[in-house]
Amino acid sequence: MKIGTTTEVRVESEIYVAGQDEFGTDFTAESYHVGVFFLDGSSLRHKVNYDGAEVETSPDGFDFFGDVREEAKAAAEQLATRVQAAGAINPDHWYEGRTVYGTPAYLDEVALMTPEQRAQ
């Protein structure tokens, strides 16, 4: 599937819970993914997430978290560069992403919502 030159390919990040530390507290980490954004506000998101925390379990059963954000972000940026250079994607590796607020795709999505969904 050709993505054209007017689309934007970029790396985005989000926070996720990587596990719990020895005190039972959630350990939050950053994950990276590649998105393709079209002029109408629709987007596609690559199926692979690059997690920024490496989880290791001690012999005692406690999880420890290593910071691998730099490596994760670099891997996502490498994929984004390859996609941009190719100018095309394989739809089998992508799914529909969020729409961009205020764009025609977003307004179309909102028009299909029930009043209860819009209130959330």
Over residues 24-50, the pLDDT tens digits come to 999 999 999 999 999 888 999 999 999
Residue 37, classed as helix, strand or coil, is: strand
pLDDT tens-digit map of 9-20: 999 999 999 999
Does residue 120 surpass a pLDDT of 90?
Answer: no
Task: Please state whether beta strands 43-46 and 94-96 pair in parallel, antiparallel, or not at all (unpaired).
Answer: antiparallel
Helix (H, G, I), strand (E, B) or coil at 55: strand
Domain-by-domain residue ranges, the chain?
8-119
Encode pLDDT of 41-77 as tens digits.
899 999 999 999 999 998 988 899 999 999 999 999 9
